């Protein structure tokens, strides 16, 4: 049996990036950029107006300007404005030659005598309300680094420089197998001795939240031959295999034996932690295999601590083994020494509270928990006010 830190190091040492693919921007949300991106153009590519108003050459000696041109956004014509003249201009329109300033329309007054315009010169200055060419970014400038998570804002930036596609790390395909004759699907009736399959829907949701879209669910009974067939097929077709249940040492726990028969190389089996001690991790070539205990809290905890970081690294993320934050423990907590505890908690500003109902079968606390709190292996009593590692669910 190994420690939590040893398990993390083994997984980190065996982690590899996924393949790189080029996708349309509309299909890239939450993916990771696989190369540094330099702008192919200046943005803006021309000086343009930041608001509706009047474009002119700022001159404190002039009092009146004659308006002889109107320029709308998208107008590609070339205009030249002479001294003492102004152009009616709209937001985003190209600044005409001979002008350097845009006066907002709300500062403009009509001059009844000259038929032109006048404005209050003390409320503006040379260059006001003009977006200069290249003020967002210049051609060849680094605008996004490799490893950046693609957010809606990143998509907007890429589109603004004219890019319709982006290179990303491809997400893995993932199969998960739920084992156990006692499990029935929600929506059906139960007989005495049966329970509902909660781990399947939860794993599906955890995978989707992690950015996985190609998910292949399977269910296996407590028959070794059936389980072996499903495992062999999943390893043949998918990049990652996750199993729930059947990894302990009971008479019907065949998962570890079937994985060995399938040629899976064991990285570790059993971790000094609660919940989720009998967890298995292995590889077959570049494929990941994780066998999690059957209890729901173990599934959630092990996925959060071990499966998700490996998936994230595969998809191009960095710093995947770090806690999301360190917060102050709101109350005292006693635990068994020699085991790292991952407890359901709820954050409140700079503090985190450990919730009740921590049993590995009990799902009630999941309705209010928004994080897992890590309590170190060597601790027996953790006092209120202690800084603890927190992992957001």
Q: Is the pLDDT of residue 388 over 80?
A: yes
pLDDT over 70, % of the chain: 99
What CATH number has the domain bearing residue 24? 3.90.105.10
Does residue 24 form part of some domain?
yes
Both 161 and 24 in one domain: the answer is: yes
Both 85 and 116 in one domain: the answer is: yes
CB-based contacts of 82, cutoff 8 Å, min separation 6 = 98
Both 76 and 115 in one domain: the answer is: yes
Both 97 and 210 in one domain: the answer is: no
Distance CA 30, CA 169 (A): 11
Both 109 and 70 in one domain: the answer is: yes
Residue range of the domain that includes 378: 325-392
Does residue 14 form part of some domain?
yes
Region of poorest pLDDT, from 31-35, 112-116, 266-270, 340-344: 112-116
**215-231: pLDDT as tens digits:** 999 999 888 999 999 99
pLDDT at 366: 83
Region of poorest pLDDT, from 117-121, 306-310, 331-335: 117-121
Both 112 and 239 in one domain: the answer is: no
Both 155 and 236 in one domain: the answer is: no
Does residue 320 form part of some domain?
no
Mean model confidence pLDDT for the chain: 93
Does residue 319 form part of some domain?
no
- Per the CB < 8 A criterion, the answer to whether 81 and 55 are in contact is yes
| Average pLDDT score over residue span 304-313 | 97
pLDDT at 63: 83
SS3 state of residue 254: coil
Both 191 and 295 in one domain: the answer is: yes
Both 203 and 253 in one domain: the answer is: yes
Residue 197: what are its φ and ψ, rounded to 5°? -80, 95
Looking at the structure of the chain, the number of domains it has is 4
pLDDT at 82: 95
Long-range contacts of 180-186 (CB under 8 A, 24+ apart): 180/221, 180/222, 180/245, 180/246, 180/294, 181/221, 181/222, 181/252, 183/219
Both 301 and 284 in one domain: the answer is: yes
Both 90 and 190 in one domain: the answer is: no
């Amino acid at each position: 049996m190994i420690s939590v830190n040893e398990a993390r190091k083994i997984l980190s040492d065996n982690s590899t990036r996924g393949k790189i693919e080029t996708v349309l921007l509309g299909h890239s949300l939450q993916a990771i950029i696989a190369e540094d991106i330099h702008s192919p153009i200046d943005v803006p590519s021309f000086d343009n107006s930041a608001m509706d108003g009047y474009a002119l050459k700022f001159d404190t000696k002039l009092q009146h300007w004659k308006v002889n041109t109107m320029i709308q956004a998208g107008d590609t014509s070339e205009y030249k404005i002479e001294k003492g003249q102004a152009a009616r201009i709209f937001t985003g329109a190209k600044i005409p030659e001979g002008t350097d300033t845009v006066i907002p329309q709300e500062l403009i007054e009509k001059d009844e005598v000259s038929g032109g315009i006048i404005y209050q010169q003390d409320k503006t200055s040379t260059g006001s309300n003009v977006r200069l060419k290249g003020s967002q970014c210049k051609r060849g400038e680094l605008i996004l680094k490799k490893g950046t998570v693609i957010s809606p804002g990143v998509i907007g930036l890429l589109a603004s420089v004219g890019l319709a596609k982006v290179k990303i790390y491809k997400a893995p395909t993932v199969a998960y197998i739920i084992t156990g004759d006692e499990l029935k699907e929600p929506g059906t009736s139960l007989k005495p001795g049966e329970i509902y399959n909660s781990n399947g829907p939860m794993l599906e949701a955890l995978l989707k939240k992690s950015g996985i879209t190609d998910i292949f669910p399977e269910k296996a009974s407590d028959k070794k031959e059936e389980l072996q067939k499903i495992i062999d097929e999943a390893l043949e077709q998918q990049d990652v295999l996750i199993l729930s249940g059947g990894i302990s040492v009971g008479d019907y726990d065949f998962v570890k034996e079937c994985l060995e028969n399938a040629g899976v190389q064991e990285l570790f089996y059993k971790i000094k932690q609660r919940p989720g001690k009998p967890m298995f991790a292995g590889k077959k070539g570049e494929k990941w295999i994780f066998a999690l205990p059957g209890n729901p809290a173990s599934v959630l905890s092990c996925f959060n601590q071990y499966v998700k970081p490996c998936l994230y690294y595969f998809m191009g993320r960095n710093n995947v083994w770090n806690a999301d934050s360190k917060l102050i423990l709101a109350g005292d907590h006693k635990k068994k020494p020699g085991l790292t505890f991952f407890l359901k908690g709820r954050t409140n500003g700079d503090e985190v509270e450990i919730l009740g109902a921590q049993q590995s079968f009990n799902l009630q606390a999941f309705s209010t928990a928004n994080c897992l709190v890590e309590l170190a292996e060597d601790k027996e009593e953790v006092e209120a006010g202690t800084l603890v590692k927190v992992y957001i669910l």
